[in-house]
Amino acid sequence: MQRFQDISPCRDAVLEARQRRLTIGLVPTMGALHAGHASLIMASRQRCDRTVVTIFVNPTQFGPNEDYLRYPKPIDADLALCQAEGVDMVFQPSADAMYSTGSPTSIHVGELTSTLCGPHRPGHFDGVATVVAKLFNIVPAHVAFFGEKDYQQLMVVRRMVRDLNMPIEIVGCPTVRDPDGLAMSSRNAYLCPGDRRQALSLSRALFAARDAIGSGRRDVAAIVSQMHRTILDAGPASIDYVEIVDALTLQPLSTVDRPARICLAVWIGSCRLIDNVGVDAPVSPG
C-alpha cells in the first residue's frame, strides 16, 4: 500500500495508473474509519482496478463552535484498516498542504444546501464541496464512493459534479448500521454508554416512520410529530430537525407523494447525530 502526504507524488501515481488503463476508485474520508468506510472501500475494489482512500479532517467544513480540534484522528488504526481492506493508495495531506495559498476560493452549491443541515451549519457545505473538488483534482479518479448516511452531502457532491462537468462518477452506498440499528459514525465515539442507548431512538423513529408510510400514511406533519415523541421519550435531546423531503431536491414535503427521504439531526449529550432512510414512491391503493 502506497502512502502519500504530498500532492504531486499522489497525483503522479494516480495518473501513471490511468496511463496503464486501470480504473481508479476514490473513497474520501475524514479518518476515524469504521465498517461503514470499509463498505465503501469494498465497493470500490469490486468496481475498480485501484482504490485510493483520502484521510483528511477538513477545517473549512467546521464552524467556529464545532468539534474540529477534538475530531478523532486514530491514524495508525486507519492505516491498518486500509491495509487489511486491500487499499492501494492512501493520501493523507496536512491542512497546510491542502490550503497552502489560504482558502479564498470556494464552491457554493445552491438550493440543496438551503435545507436540513444547511441552516444549522452555515458554510459547512461550501467547505465540503470545495475540499471534494480539490481531492478530485489531486486524485483524478474515475469513480468516487460516498455513504448515504450523509445523504445531503452525497446530493451536494452529485450536483457539483453535474453542474461543473467534472469527469467522475459518484456512487452512493447504503448506510451501514450496528446490529442494534445505530448508524455507524466516527462521532459515535463521543457517546457514553447511556447516550448510546438513547441514540437508538433515532433509528427507531426513522424505521417506524418508513413503515407508517409503507402502510399508507401520507401526512408528513403527523409522521414527524410521532418521530419527535419517539426521540424525546427516550431521554433529553435537542432536535435540530426532523423532516421528510423530496429525495432529489431535498425540499420539505407536506404529503408523501413521491420518492422521499426521512432525515434528522439530533443532539444527544455533546454529540450531534444525523441519520436518514429512503422511501420509495408510494403505490396508490386499488
16 within domain boundaries: yes
Q: Could you tell me the residue range of the domain that residue 201 belongs to?
A: 187-279
Same domain as 48, residue 70 = yes
Residue 178 lies in a domain: no
Q: Are residues 69 and 194 in the same domain?
A: no
> Would residue 191 count as lying in a domain?
yes
pLDDT at 65: 86
Domain end position, chosen among 173, 207, 241: 173
- Is 228 one of the annotated active-site residues of the chain? no
* 263 within some domain: yes
Last residue of a domain, one of 142, 173, 204: 173
Q: Determine the pLDDT at residue 284.
A: 57
Same domain, 10 and 141: yes
Q: Are residues 43 and 169 in the same domain?
A: yes
pLDDT in tens, the chain (286 residues): 999 999 999 999 999 999 999 999 999 999 999 999 999 999 999 999 999 999 999 999 999 989 999 999 999 999 999 999 999 999 999 999 999 988 789 999 999 999 999 999 999 999 999 999 999 999 999 999 999 999 999 999 999 999 999 999 999 999 999 999 999 999 999 999 999 999 999 999 999 999 999 999 999 999 999 999 999 999 999 999 999 999 999 999 999 999 999 999 999 999 999 999 999 976 555 4
**Residue 225 and residue 158 in one domain:** no
Is residue 179 situated within a structural domain?
no
Return the pLDDT at 282: 67
Do 114 and 42 lie in a common domain?
A: yes
**Interatomic CA distance for residues 66 and 55, integer angstroms:** 19
Query: Helix 7-19 and helix 124-138: axis angle, to 10°?
Result: 60
CATH number at residue 132: 3.40.50.620
Judgement on whether residues 82 and 164 belong to the same structural domain of the protein: yes
Of 37, 108, 120, 142, catalytic: 37
Backbone phi, then psi, for 207, in 5-degree steps? -65, -40
On whether both 54 and 137 belong to a single domain, the answer is yes
Indicate the number of domains in the chain: 2
Examine residue 33 and state whether it is found in any structural domain, yes or no.
yes
Of 139, 173, 207, the domain-final residue: 173
Q: Do the domain assignments include residue 180? A: no
Per-residue model confidence (pLDDT) at position 283:
59
Q: CATH number of the domain at 224, please.
A: 3.30.1300.10
Kindly state whether residue 91 falls inside one of the protein's structural domains: yes
pTM beyond 0.85 = yes
In this structure, are 74 and 157 located in the same domain? yes
What pLDDT, on a 0 to 100 scale, did the predictor assign at position 286? 44
Q: For position 137, what pLDDT does the model report? A: 98
pLDDT score for 103: 77
**165 and 213 inside one domain:** no
